[in-house]
């Protein structure tokens, strides 16, 4: 097995020319024979460096509007030949095939073209054929060929050829082969998913090319990784690295506050993926203070998120609490100075970003995929189920509570009043237990439940929950409805002057 190979010839054919010039100059200094095509050939010529057009090797011009340039045995033979194989060497000489030691290729920007909203014709034209074939061939033959498939690697490649006088090791070539197959598999995944948006073939292709190693997973004895472009969603301004659990909580926080974007100042505090406090007020400071009042015990070490800019007055209050992460669309300069006073506190600026429309989770030996729950209960989808109608304030509270309920672990009951979370029962095996947990918690923080509202993530099969709620002082209920015994709960509400509305939409969260 060959180990070190000195680069004597290179084929360069790229869409993006950024960062290419230093490599071309170094290869020229090393006396490497350069081959190229089209725009890359012109780019190298314009640098005053000699380059051989691929057409001189293949004795065929670029045809079909540039669709076929490098797809030729003299090119692929130069890449795929085994340098230690006598039969290959004989055929190389027989057919006058040049040896190609280095391949630098990138791909047409298919994903960017799709994201731009281009026509299907333009999108199809950005499906690379020659480039992907060159990458796969060179990566397959890494024993003898050095494959560079991404401009992100140019700096490292320049370092390798500069420090080693144009020589590469087997380990380096194999590593870059792995990187090349990462590029090609991601590219094919993007193409399949584009076509499958219509074809709906029951197959799952997921590819994330950016990843980071976390300190550990959910617990210290578990390894943890995050795959995705975190920087596309957030600017991290301060603090330690986010942990696996931090990321889960940030995800829950972003999804919850997304229900309140564009509304009055709203502040939420989350712990273990559930809101322990949330309130909507006329200033963000008031919203924070009332969110904190919802459960000042659980707020310790929590994740804080705002739907609007955090000012200095709010930052002063936040600074009195130990919290892991603070998230907002922006911060005043004074607020930032205050919040940065705690060395490890993570401060994030949330950018405008469209979350994926599917959610995935491992299940047994496979993966569960579903549409994201994008339905938010509004006045327009409410059905008044009882004779007693909710007041305007109760309707506002019901919709507020419903939004919180949607993002709380099932079974859940949420109690709210004046757009403030009083308490929630989370992750209970029975809805009655969830309600009792919420009532006990609200009472423990001395909230007056008289006139409060109740939201449930699923229907009531029996009237026990509305009876318990009534006796606690709750006056209005929002729930999906849909039980064959809905009328039992409706009858109780009618008899005891409670109002109840149906949404027609269940919001389980497991």
272 as an active site residue: the answer is yes
Peptide bond into 361 cis (omega under 30): no
140 as an active site residue: the answer is yes
Q: Which of 17, 25, 26, 140 is catalytic?
A: 140
Planar angle of CA 229, 231, 233, nearest 5 degrees: 90
- C-alpha distances out from residue 495 to 386, 387, 460, 492, Å: 10, 9, 17, 5
Length of the chain: 510
Which residues, in sequence order, are CB contacts of 254 under 8 Å at separation 6+? Answer: 233, 305, 327, 350, 355
**By the 8 A CB rule, do 238 and 210 touch?**
no
**By the 8 A CB rule, do 178 and 37 touch?**
no
Structure-token pair, residue 506: 């269940």
Q: In which residue are the tokens 């033979």 written?
A: 77
The secondary structure of the chain in percent helix, strand, coil, rounded to multiples of 5, reads 40, 20, 40
Which residues, in sequence order, are CB contacts of 195 under 8 Å at separation 6+? Answer: none
Q: Which of 238, 272, 342, 496 is catalytic?
A: 272
> Which residue in 502, 256, 274 sits closest to 403, CA to CA?
256
Active site residues: 140, 272
């Amino acid at each position: 097995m060959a180990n070190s190979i000195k680069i004597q010839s290179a084929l360069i054919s790229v869409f993006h020319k950024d960062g290419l010039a230093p490599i071309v100059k170094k290869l020229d200094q090393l006396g490497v024979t350069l081959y190229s095509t089209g725009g890359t050939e012109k780019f190298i010529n314009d640098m005053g460096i000699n380059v051989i057009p691929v057409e001189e090797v293949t004795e065929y011009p670029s045809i079909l509007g540039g669709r076929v340039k490098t797809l030729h045995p003299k090119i692929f033979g130069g890449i795929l030949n085994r340098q230690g194989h006598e039969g290959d060497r004989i055929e190389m000489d027989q057919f006058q095939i040049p040896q190609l030691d280095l391949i630098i290729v990138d791909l047409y920007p298919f994903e960017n073209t799709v994201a731009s909203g281009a026509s299907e014709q333009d999108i199809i034209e950005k499906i690379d054929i020659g480039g992907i074939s060159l990458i796969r061939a060179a990566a397959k033959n890494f024993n003898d060929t050095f494959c560079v498939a991404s401009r992100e690697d140019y700096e490292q490649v320049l370092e390798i050829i500069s420090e080693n006088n144009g020589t590469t090791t087997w380990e380096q070539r194999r590593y870059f082969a792995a990187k090349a197959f990462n590029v090609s598999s991601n590219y094919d995944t993007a193409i399949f998913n584009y076509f499958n948006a219509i074809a709906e073939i029951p197959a799952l292709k997921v590819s994330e090319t950016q990843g980071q190693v976390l300190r550990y997973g959910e617990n210290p004895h578990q390894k943890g990784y995050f795959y995705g472009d975190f920087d596309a969603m957030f600017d991290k301004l301060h603090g330690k690295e986010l942990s696996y659990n931090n990321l889960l909580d940030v995800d829950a926080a972003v999804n919850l506050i997304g229900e309140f974007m564009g509304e009055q100042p709203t502040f939420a505090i989350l712990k273990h993926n559930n809101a322990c406090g949330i309130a909507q007020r006329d200033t963000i400071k008031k919203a924070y203070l009332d969110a904190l009042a919802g459960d000042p015990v659980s707020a310790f070490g929590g994740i804080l998120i705002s739907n609007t800019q955090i000012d200095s007055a709010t930052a002063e209050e936040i600074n009195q609490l130990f919290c892991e992460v603070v998230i907002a669309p922006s911060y005043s300069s004074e607020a930032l100075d205050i919040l940065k006073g705690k060395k490890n506190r993570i401060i994030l600026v949330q950018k405008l970003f469209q979350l994926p429309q599917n959610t995935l989770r491992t299940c047994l030996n496979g993966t569960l995929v579903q549409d994201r729950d994008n339905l938010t209960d509004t006045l327009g989808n409410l059905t008044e189920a009882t004779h007693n109608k909710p007041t305007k304030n109760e309707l506002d509270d019901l919709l507020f509570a419903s939004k919180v309920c949607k993002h709380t672990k099932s079974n859940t009951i949420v109690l709210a009043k004046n757009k403030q979370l009083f308490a929630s029962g989370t992750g209970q095996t029975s809805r009655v237990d969830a309600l009792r947990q919420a009532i006990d918690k609200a009472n423990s923080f001395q909230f007056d439940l008289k006139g409060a509202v109740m939201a449930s993530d699923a229907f009531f099969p029996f009237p026990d929950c509305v009876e318990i709620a009534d006796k606690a002082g709750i006056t209005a209920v929002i729930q999906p409805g849909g039980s064959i015994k809905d009328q039992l709960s409706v009858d109780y509400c009618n008899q005891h002057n409670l109002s109840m509305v149906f949404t027609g939409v269940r919001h389980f969260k497991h």
